[in-house]
Each structure stands twice: as structure tokens, then as C-alpha cells.
Chains A and B, each alone.
Chain A
Amino acid sequence: DQQVKQNSPSLSVQEGRISILNCDYTNSMFDYFLWYKKYPAEGPTFLISISSIKDKNEDGRFTVFLNKSAKHLSLHIVPSQPGDSAVYFCAARDDRGSTLGRLYFGRGTQLTVWP
């Protein structure tokens, strides 16, 4: 049962434009959401996160938006650069009890930024 879903396996964007990556979740108990960037044959690297009490978090070119009522979050990258080309994973965390720290991942979205 996939509790975190990324329905778009790929996204292609021209350099300089905005990239919008989407993520949906089903578990209303998730209280922290993260985006990771991953290159082939490497581990994920943390990009940006947002707690459930906020609806927006911004870090440079990256902004994450959270819509709790819709159980939806998105990552905006502006302006997109060719170096942003990678697989982006959305993850959610449930810090209750025995699941403390556990992350639930989506399937990822391959972002390609072309010149």
C-alpha cells in the first residue's frame, strides 16, 4: 500500500523555467514531509522539508508547498537549471511511537532540465 504517491514518473522542463513536482499522501498522521534528490547509483540527498504546521517553506530556488486538506505537497524549482536533472523523491514521516523516524517514500519523479 503506497502511502506516498508521485504520479508523474517524469518531467521535462526548459532551463530557466519553473519545475513543479507533485506528491500526494494518504496518511493524515504524517507530520513532516521531505524532498530528496537522487542521482543514479547514489544515495538520496536531502533537499528541503516542511512540517505539517506550515504551508510553505522556501530555500533559495526551492519552495515546498503543503496543502493538508488535500493531502498534497509540491516542490517548485525556480529557475530550473540543467544540474537539477535527477530523480526527486517525496517522503513523509510519522514520528509516533514505534515508527519514530521512519520515512515513507514515493516512487520518484525523473526531472530533466534541458538547455
Chain B
Amino acid sequence: GAVVSQHPSWVICKSGTSVKIECRSLDFQATTMFWYRQFPKQSLMLMATSNEGSKATYEQGVEKDKFLINHASLTLSTLTVTSAHPEDSSFYICSARDMTRAGWDQETQYFGPGTRLLVL
């Protein structure tokens, strides 16, 4: 089955530092990756859609200068939380879309295991 990895799985950092989270599709190419954020007992909120070779599309209310997304290859997207603050502490999850299985009657999006970020 399709596998998506995230690294690191958890990170603790000081306020003001930047943190980079990697999302990799291990056995398929993903032209599109999605970044989500989940607060405790809350839904997964889409932050941005990342397309290989082009700028990410951010959801309303998400600061693009704070959450930098780079999708430089068909298997890797990165999310960098710049100048992190305690309110950025959250669970960040990526997903990748396998376009070889694209078809509207199929599930084609696979999720990574998530990254827990704690900003002190």
C-alpha cells in the first residue's frame, strides 16, 4: 500500500526558532500534497495545498509567511514554521495524493503519521 512518512515525529523548540517538517511519499509520486493542523479534540483543518513545482495554495486565515511550504520534488514537501510561538504548538499532518490511482471513485489520498510540535 501507499506509504507517507513525516519527519520528525515530534519536536520541541524554543519560541522564536524555525522548525521544518518533511513529508515524503515513499512508494508513489505525489504531484499534490496537503498540510493539515489538528488541535486537541478538533477536526483536521486544511492549512494549504502543495503542488509540485508551483506555489502552495493557502487556506483563508493561514499566514503564508509564517508557514512556508516547499514542494520541490514529486516525493517531498516541507512545511517550515518560522519564528514559532507557543500558539503554534499543534499536531501537523500531511497527506499525499497518488495521481496514478486518480479517479473520482477511489480513495487516492494517503496520510502521514503526523508531527507533534511543542513550542516553549
In addition to A44-B93, A46-B107, A102-B46, 12 A-B residue pairs with Cβ atoms within 8 Å of each other are A31-B104, A42-B114, A43-B4, A43-B6, A43-B113, A43-B114, A89-B44, A101-B34, A101-B108, A103-B46, A104-B46, A108-B43
Q: Which of B44, B105, B107, B113 is the one whose CB lies under 8 Å from A105?
A: B44
Near A by CB (< 8 A), chain B positions 56-98 give 57, 91, 93, 95, 97
Quick one: given A44-B93, A101-B109, are A95 and B104 in contact (CB under 8 Å)? yes
Q: How far is the CA of A42 from the CA of B115 in the complex (A)?
A: 9
Q: Which of A32, A45, A106 is the one whose CB lies under 8 Å from B104?
A: A32
A43 — which chain B residues lie within 8 A by C-beta?
A: 4, 6, 93, 95, 111-114
> What are 13 A-B contacts with C-beta separation under 8 Å?
A41-B91, A42-B114, A43-B93, A43-B95, A43-B111, A43-B114, A101-B49, A101-B97, A103-B34, A105-B44, A107-B41, A107-B42, A108-B41
Task: Please list the residues of chain B having a beta carbon within 8 angstroms of any beta carbon in chain A.
Answer: 4, 6, 32, 34, 41-46, 49, 57, 91, 93, 95, 97, 104-105, 107-114, 116
Q: Which of A34, A41, A42 is the one whose CB lies under 8 Å from B107?
A: A34
Quick one: given A103-B46, A105-B43, are A45 and B111 in contact (CB under 8 Å)? yes
Q: How far is the CA of A45 from the CA of B4 in the complex (A)?
A: 11
Is the beta-carbon distance between B113 and A32 smaller than 8 angstroms? no
Question: What is the 8 Å Cβ interface bit string for chain A, positions 95-115, against chain B (1 contact, 0 not)?
Answer: 100101111111110000000
A100 — which chain B residues lie within 8 A by C-beta?
A: 32
Task: Please list the residues of chain A having a beta carbon within 8 angstroms of any beta carbon in chain B.
Answer: 2, 9, 31-32, 34, 36, 41-46, 49, 51, 89, 95, 98, 100-108
Closest to A54 in B: B105
Is the beta-carbon distance between A102 and B114 smaller than 8 angstroms? no
The 4 closest A-B pairs by CB, nearest first: A43-B111, A107-B43, A105-B44, A105-B43
Q: How far is the CA of A38 from the CA of B104 in the complex (A)?
A: 23
